[in-house]
Amino acid sequence: MIPQTSSDEVFTMHIQQQLGARIRQFRQKKGWSQEEFADRCGIHRSHMGEIERGRANITLATLVVIAQTLDTSAATLLKDIA
């Protein structure tokens, strides 16, 4: 039997993908590789890859660290997402 994905799970994945794309966009504007950015944030590079691909449901604390590293706010990263 194939497990079914609920509409809530699909919505959450969509938000994660949008946020990940926004984080990637900001990182690329800084000219940082994903590995360099992960190091600056204190996050393992494979986890940062999952975040940018929208496969990780990050905590608010991690979002704040990422935003601070990008010299922006969590609110800016989340603006118009959902």
pLDDT at 2: 62
Q: Has this prediction a pTM greater than 0.75?
A: yes
Give me the mean pLDDT over the 56-69 stretch.
97
Residue 17 has pLDDT above 80, yes or no: yes
* Contact (CB, 8 A) for 49 and 34: yes
In the chain, the domains with their CATH numbers are 8-78 (1.10.260.40)
Q: Is the pLDDT of residue 9 over 90?
A: no
Secondary-structure percent of the chain, ordered helix, strand, coil, rounded to 5: 65, 0, 35
CB 27 within 8 A of CB 70: yes
Output the pLDDT for position 4.
67
Helices and strands (DSSP H and E) totals, the chain: 5, 0
**CA 73/CA 58 separation, integer angstroms:** 15
pLDDT in tens, 19-61: 999 999 999 999 999 999 999 999 999 999 999 999 999 999 9
